[in-house]
Each structure stands twice: as C-alpha cells, then as structure tokens.
C-alpha cells in the first residue's frame, strides 16, 4: 500500500513526534522516578500527554519554520 505524496509531510511529522516524545518522556520519567514498579504506567501517561500536545504544535509550527528556513537557504550553492 502506497500513501499519497500529499500526505508525506504529515506522516513524517507524526512519526517524528512519536519517536521524539517516546524518547524524551522515557528519559524524563526515569530521571524523576527511576525504574520503579509504576515506571511503565507513568511513562505511558506522560508519553500520551506529550504526543497529544506535540503533534498539533508540530503540524502548525513546521510549515512556518519551513518558510523561514527556505528564505535563509542560498539556492545558488
């Protein structure tokens, strides 16, 4: 199954958000609580909340960042 090219950026951003929030929340929960009996529960809760917040933020901010960066990039090189 192939995905339409027009959805490529959204899917890429969603996968990036999943990976980044997964890693950041894992480290954060470990630093704050260590590997306790409740580690997995706390981590999944933290990851879920982080993902719910991060995905819409990235979807809104990324096009703006792309425009800014494209203006800064020298196309002659």
Sign of the Cα torsion 27, 31, 34, 39 reads: negative
- Residue 29 dihedral angles phi and psi, to the nearest 5°: -65, -40
Q: Write the CA distances from 19 to 15, 25, 46, 54, integer angstroms.
A: 6, 10, 14, 11
- How many domains does the structure of the chain reveal? 1
Tens digit of pLDDT for each residue in 2-51?
888 888 888 888 999 999 999 999 999 999 999 999 999 999 999 999 99
Cα–Cα distance, 46 to 25 (Å, whole number): 6
Asked whether residue 47 is domain-assigned, the answer is: yes
Residue-level length of the chain: 77
Are residues 58 and 17 in contact, defined by beta-carbon separation less than 8 angstroms?
Answer: yes
* pLDDT on residue 77: 66
* pLDDT on residue 66: 87
Q: What is the chain's alpha carbon radius of gyration, rounded to the nearest angstrom?
A: 17
Asked whether residue 77 is domain-assigned, the answer is: no
The range of the structural domain enclosing residue 59 comes to: 5-72
Asked whether residue 35 is domain-assigned, the answer is: yes
């Amino acid at each position: 199954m192939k995905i339409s090219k027009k959805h490529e950026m959204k899917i890429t951003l969603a996968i990036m958000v999943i990976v980044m929030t997964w890693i950041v929340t894992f480290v954060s929960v470990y630093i704050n609580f260590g590997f306790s009996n409740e580690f997995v529960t706390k981590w999944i809760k933290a990851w879920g909340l982080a993902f719910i917040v991060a995905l819409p933020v990235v979807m809104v901010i990324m096009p703006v960042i792309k425009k800014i960066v494209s203006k800064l990039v020298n196309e002659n090189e």
